[in-house]
Amino acid sequence: MKISIFGLGYVGAVSAGCLASDGHEVIGVDPNRTKVDLINQGVTPIIEKDIGEMIAATVKSGLLRATVDVRDAVLGSDMSLICVGTPSQLNGNLDLSHVRKVCEQIGAAIKDKDAFHVVVARSTMLPGSMSNLVIPTLEAASGKKAGVDFGVCNNPEFLREGTAVYDYYHPPKTVIGESDERAGALLVELYAKMEAPLVRTNVETAEMVKYTDNTWHAVKVAFANEIGNICKAVGIDGHKVMEIFCQDTKLNLSSYYMKPGFAFGGSCLPKDVRALTYKARSLDLDLPLLNSILPSNQKQVDKGLKMIMDKGARKVGILGFSFKAGTDDLRESPLVDVIEHLLGKGYELKLYDKNVNLAALTGANQDYILNHIPHISKLMVDSMEEVLAFAETIVVGNGAAEFKALPGLLKPGQSVVDLVRISTEQSGGQYDGICW
């Protein structure tokens, strides 16, 4: 394939060298004449393992060249990769001026091109940047329609400095956000030989993936450091603790707990976070990340409560109110918090959870429901059907399998607040998911 790459900085130079080494004809484009001259001399403009040899070899073979002429590059290629910088502004927002300028230039060249051209953004941009800036700019400059006359994709890169060439050929995943199937299929061809999960999705999701990844990496660093600070203060080797922590790939380093939804609860997580942060305070440690966990969790409870109240109905049914499906444990269930707030504001409630059966409750659970929340036991009913016959707003509070049938059982005028994503089907009533 013939490919033009806009921006010969870190991502652009690595992409150019790797794509040319794979046999593609690559034209690098940059307004900096020094970078262009270096590439044409077979010299890398960046310091990165292996890329120097790759650029030298591909320039010599004729598969890689560089230019300052945008029109020449676009007309001489099938696909353009945008790899220009998106630096931070003083307020934290992105400076997309380089992206805008490149899109204006590419669009002007596409205007005079008959063949279908694909524009791929590899620059890191916030969700909405493609639809609000990239696509409108390309369309305005070209006079053509994205997804019809030319294709647009967002293709985030996952390259680490120092191992970028290795990362290019061994990505954790390949994500393609596409304006249309034709554009996505052409981009897929670049990665045909790579052994990595391939995800084709919409443009906005692809934009968000890169920020989710990088923010998660930042959270991991901050988490390990704060745990390490506690460990040092109490005379424990923080490295040893985290080595043991990382051996757990079933829960700790896995997809478990990583689905957006309602707040956490139960007898362990709230209590243990509370105890650890109390210990840190007693040691005069300032740990912003760990200290933010419980307030963040409470914000999710508040959000769920607001969603229910915003529906405007006074009769509310709760399906599942133990802290998770498959248990009868109500201790620190965030749904109990929601129920008590609704009762305090005068709402009529009916609750159903087959696992929360007073006759079967024993020990701590029995004591909790009889002595701490006895008013809630009076609201419990024996079936989901009783809740549906009563409620104007139905709240799905945990992921019990029986609730999956809910969308098909709704009556006209009933609304649903789903806190767990019980079903992707959203017909049969007004549906509102807490994070989707």
193 lies in the same domain as 321: no
Helix axes 51-61, 33-40, angle to 10 degrees: 70
Element (H, E) at 239: helix 238-246
Count of beta carbons in the 10 Å neighbourhood of residue 171: 18
Query: Tell me: the pLDDT tens digits for 166-195?
Result: 999 999 999 999 999 999 999 999 998 898
Q: What is the mean pLDDT of residues 92-104?
A: 95
Residue 22, annotated as binding a ligand: no
178 lies in the same domain as 326: no
Residue 384, annotated as binding a ligand: no
303 lies in the same domain as 424: yes
Q: What is the mean pLDDT of residues 288-315?
A: 97
Final residue in a domain of this structure, among 201, 227, 244: 201
23 lies in the same domain as 144: yes
Per-residue pLDDT at 368: 73
Residues annotated as catalytic are 268
Which amino acid type is present at position 117?
H
Residue 331, annotated as binding a ligand: yes
38 lies in the same domain as 173: yes
Residue 116, annotated as binding a ligand: no
Flag whether 281 is in a domain. Answer: no
Query: Tell me: the pLDDT tens digits for 197-223?
Result: 999 999 999 999 999 999 999 999 999
Taking the CA atoms of residue 425, residue 430, residue 432 and residue 436 in that order, the dihedral angle to the nearest 10 degrees is 40
Per-residue pLDDT at 385: 95
Q: In Å, how far from its chain's centre is CA 123? A: 17
301 lies in the same domain as 171: no
Using the predicted structure, report yes or no on whether residue 426 has a pLDDT greater than 70. Answer: no
Flag whether 140 is in a domain. Answer: yes
48 lies in the same domain as 174: yes
Final residue in a domain of this structure, among 158, 174, 201: 201
301 lies in the same domain as 193: no
Give the CATH number for residue 50. 3.40.50.720
189 lies in the same domain as 303: no
Query: Tell me: the pLDDT tens digits for 231-256?
Result: 999 999 999 999 999 999 999 999 99
Residue 324, annotated as binding a ligand: yes
Q: Considering just the CA atoms, what is the radius of gyration of the chain in Å?
A: 28
- The burial class, CB within 10 Å (0-12 / 13-18 / 19+), for 334 is buried
Least trusted range by pLDDT, from 40-49, 234-243, 356-365: 356-365
- Domains contained in the chain, number: 2
Final residue in a domain of this structure, among 186, 201, 216: 201
Residue 161: domain span: 2-201
Q: What is the mean pLDDT of residues 55-68?
A: 98
| pLDDT band at residue 425 using 50, 70 and 90 as cut-offs | low
